[in-house]
Amino acid sequence: MISIRGRQREWIVKGPKAEAEAFEARQRVAIEAGEPAEVRAAPKFCDFCLVRYRPHAEMHLRPSTWKVRAYQLATLIEHFGELRLTAMTTESVEAYKRRRLADGKQARTINNELAVLQAVCTYAREIPVPISRFNIQPLPVRGRGRVTYWTEGQISALYEALEELSPELLPVVVFLVNTGCRKGEALALTWEQVDVERGHIRIWPNAEWQPKDNEPREVPIGEALLPWLRRERRSSRWVFPCSTGERWRCWPKLQFDRARKAAGHDRECPVWTDHQRACLCGAKGLRGGPHTARHTFAAHFLKALPDMYLLSQLLGHSETRTSKLYAHLLPEHLERARGAVSLVPSVGAAAAEARRRWS
């Protein structure tokens, strides 16, 4: 690397040290004389990701975000790894999309990987490193479907199954359903964040966990959750420890799925509609995961208190994002919009009929 007048130049030279030093000397002379220097060799995609991009990403991303991005980078390296950055083209990106679709991956998953590819290319151009210009066009994605949630009968069945099969996990699920918190926020919750006297829980960034968007918030403690926070503590630090008294390192998927499947068999609520039974119960038992508990909290909250702004504060969402997800759960929200706008035309052949209809 050569730095002259505050501008850095970098080359990759293969061969003995003497040849590299001679090459450096020629480049310095050429730069000082204002002559165009030789074009440095572009690194391979895999080398750039591992040597240059990875330290940058680990330093600037949250640990949980980097954990996901590492898997996405591994997938991209598997396809683009041996290509030099100057050899990457729009067609190679299109080939990647076709391959991932053939593997049965959804458009959203592929688009997330393409976003990481775009981030790598942007960083390469900022350094700068020689890289070709090509288009990265995301795949079309169908609109987000309505969120699913558990009814009171389904929640009771899940509680019973957890009590029978995974009792150490029951307090965590009770917490998720009654607060709308994310699973990571529950597993990393410490007693320092719980204020039983004032009746609220503080969700804040710490060394163990960073909430999404790093926005701290407070969540009230309801009557259903209060007894679980007043019982004898199994850990001096963690509110919901595992059987060893230490923090859960990851969501106990096997234990939860076992109880979830058991809750769906021979425990169907008699008031379920055919649609609910088809969506939430089947061969695999009760459907959904820990994030369904978050949707469940939102659905039951809006039924009791149709306040979208307050819900967004509790969930740590923007009001716009919350509205897109849960607006259809508001009681009679479409009926309230009926007749809100009534602009009657005063001229034309349809005026009389319009006046009759809207009078």
Same domain, 11 and 159: no
Are 179 and 269 in the same domain? yes
Query: Over the stretch 159-207, which tens digit does the pLDDT of each residue have?
Result: 999 999 999 999 999 999 999 999 989 999 999 999 999 999 998 877 6
| Distance in angstroms (rounded) separating the CA atoms of residues 281 and 275 | 10
Same domain, 314 and 170: yes
Residue 54 lies in a domain: yes
Q: For residue 235, which amino acid is it?
A: S
Give the DSSP letter of residue 84: B
User: Do the domain assignments include residue 145?
Assistant: no
Q: 190 and 240 share a domain?
A: yes
Residues 108 and 229 both lie in one domain:
no
Specify the pairing of strand 281-282 against strand 285-286: antiparallel
| 248 in any annotated domain | yes
Per residue in 290-329, pLDDT (tens digit) is 999 999 999 999 888 888 889 988 998 877 777 778 877 7
Q: For residues 254 and 193, state if they share a domain.
A: yes
Does residue 351 lie in a domain region?
no
Q: What is the pLDDT of residues 318-328, one digit of tens each?
A: 777 777 788 77
At residue 279, the pLDDT reads: 46
Section 252-274 average pLDDT: 71
Q: Do residues 177 and 165 lie in contact, with contact meaning Cβ atoms separated by under 8 Å?
A: no
Verify that 222 and 323 share a domain, yes or no.
yes
Residues in CB range of 218: below 8 A, 6 or more apart: 200, 201, 202, 203
In a 3-state reduction of DSSP, which class is residue 349?
coil
How much is the pTM? 0.65
User: Which parts of 124-260 are beta strand (E)?
Assistant: 194-195, 200-203, 217-220
Q: Is the pLDDT of residue 104 over 80?
A: yes
Q: Which residue has the higher pLDDT, 8 or 178?
A: 178
Torsion of CA 227, 229, 234, 236, to 10 degrees: -150
Give a yes or no: residue 139 inside a domain: no
Residue 281 pLDDT > 60: no
Assess whether 114 and 197 both reside in one domain.
Answer: no
Q: Of all residues in the chain, what percent carry a pLDDT higher than 70?
A: 73
Q: How many Å separate Cα 273 from the centre of its chain?
A: 31
pLDDT score for 139: 94
| Residue 107 located in a structural domain | yes
Q: Is residue 238 part of a domain?
A: yes
**CATH assignment of the domain containing 252:** 1.10.443.10
Q: Tell me what pLDDT residue 156 has.
A: 93
Are 121 and 157 part of one and the same domain?
A: no
Assigned token pair, 178: 């009654």
Q: Both 180 and 317 in a single domain?
A: yes
3-state SS class at 191:
helix
pLDDT band, residue 39 (cuts 50/70/90): very low
Q: What is the mean pLDDT of residues 332-337?
A: 65
Q: Do 177 and 228 have their domain in common?
A: yes
Residue 77 is part of which domain span? Answer: 45-126
Q: Within a domain: residue 214?
A: yes
Task: Looking at the structure, tell me whether residues 312 and 169 fall in a common domain.
Answer: yes
Tokens of 239: 């509110």
**Count of structural domains within the chain:** 3
Closest residue by Cα to residue 285 from 165, 116, 105, 192: 165
